[in-house]
Structures are given as structure tokens and as C-alpha cells.
Chain A
Amino acid sequence: MQSKSILLILSHAPYGDTRAKEALDLALTAAAFGQDVSLLFTQDALYLLLKSQQPQAIEQKNLANICSALPMYDIDKIYIENNTSQTKHITAEQLILPGVFVNHNQIALMIRDHDVVLRF
């Protein structure tokens, strides 16, 4: 089967609703299907990457664990919206996964250059 480059833009925080979880499920499946998947964390989705999440008490799966496993599923193109990390006072050291920090112009070009762009 042919391969397409897929950019998945995440914009929602974990746990409050299912959007982030369903987007990650989609990313893992697309990668398993041999697609060239890039993940861009924007807005509240940056909170997905925070270390030391402990969602057991709210009866949810730890989404940070899924994120830290992304490279094992051949998803190693991880991008982080620079503006968001600054606004939220989140530094690279606080994240469970290393990523490339990108600004708005770079994001616009990423959207242009991928075959398929899905934003959740």
C-alpha cells in the first residue's frame, strides 16, 4: 500500500474529554498502517506531554505513557508549538518526550507540506 504523510495536530488537553485520547489512537493506527505520521502538540494538548501525570484516581489511562511510547510505534516526528509552551510556562525538561519547537510560520508550512492534515 502506498504511503502518505499525515500531520496530526492535537489541540486538546487529556482527561477532560476524549478528544486527545482518540487522536492518539488514530496516530498509532496510522503509524501501524505504515503511514508517515507527524504529531504537532498545540494549545492545551501540550499538557499531554507533562511528566508525572497520575490519572488513576479519576479512573483513566495514563495518556503520558502512550505519548512516551510513540517512538516505539515509529512516531518520532514530534513537534511542539513554541508559543504555547511559553504561554504555559512549560519547558522542555518538564516534558515526557523530546520534540522540535516550531513557530506559527513553520506550522503553516508543515500544514502545506503534508498530504493529509487532521486537527483534533
Chain B
Amino acid sequence: MIFSILIYGSAHNSQSVHTAYRFAKSLLAAGHTLHRVFFYGESVYTASALCAPPRDEQDIHQLWKSLAETHQLDLVVCIAAALKRGVIDQAEAQRHEKPAFNTHAPYELSGLGQLSEAAIISDRLVTFGA
């Protein structure tokens, strides 16, 4: 079965990004396809490579990155939600003349159309909310 995941909960102020991660791992382990993970709203902070949690806490940015690299996942971060919150990749930093960037592959900034497409393609779209 083809799944997509929409994450809307806060990256650092809710459990949802972690619950979504466990769900993603489980569906992949069961042999299903994960077409896309779409980060929207406050979840876009997951994509910041500059998050440095304490050593005894999980690094959610790294967890998703590793899972994506292992399974060639499509991690799409809503570009509008990300840019206004200061989550920005190299290309957008140049375009907007910003002094630095903080996200890169496998996280990819793109539009809400990617979520619409995922809703069409997938048998199940599962939301993990705020």
C-alpha cells in the first residue's frame, strides 16, 4: 500500500513528529511504500540542521534524515511555511540574499502542490497534528 504522511505538529513542542517517525518506520518495516513525508506548519523546524539538542535527548532532524537516506524517502518541507520561519536552503538563501542557510538534502523545500500530489497518489494520507 502507498502511504504519505503529513506532519503539522510542532517539531520541538509536540510529540507528533516523533509519532510520525515511528509510524513511518513501522510501515516501511511492513513492506509498504512511503511516497512522501510533508512537513507543514511548525513541523518545518525539523528540517533545520542547526538544532543541537542535549546529548540525552533525541535529535529528530537526524532521525528523519537517517531514515530518509536509508529508504530514499522524499522529505518535502513546505517552502512558504519554512521561509517565513527562517528554515532556508542554499538556493533560497541566495535568492533572498540571506547570510546563511540551515537546511539541505534529504530535506527539500517545495510547495503545497507536493502535498496535493501526495494525497492523489497515495492510498492513505496520515496526518500527525499539533
State the majority secondary structure of interface residues on A.
Answer: mixed
Interface residues on A, range: 10 to 19
With A26-B112, A29-B111 known as contacts, the answer to whether A120 contacts B119 (CB < 8 A) is no
- Which chain A residues border B40 with CB–CB below 8 Å? 22, 26
Contact A30–B41 (Cβ < 8 Å): no
Nearest CB of B to A19, in Å? 7
With A19-B130, A118-B127 known as contacts, the answer to whether A4 contacts B81 (CB < 8 A) is no
Interface residues on B, range: 10 to 19
Contact B41–A25 (Cβ < 8 Å): no
Interface residues in B99-126 by Cβ distance below 8 A to A read: 111-113, 115-117, 119-120, 125
Complex alpha-carbon distance, A116 and B125, angstroms? 7
- Which chain B residues border A2 with CB–CB below 8 Å? 120
Binding site for A on B (CB under 8 A): 6, 8, 40-41, 80-81, 111-113, 115-117, 119-120, 125, 127, 129-130
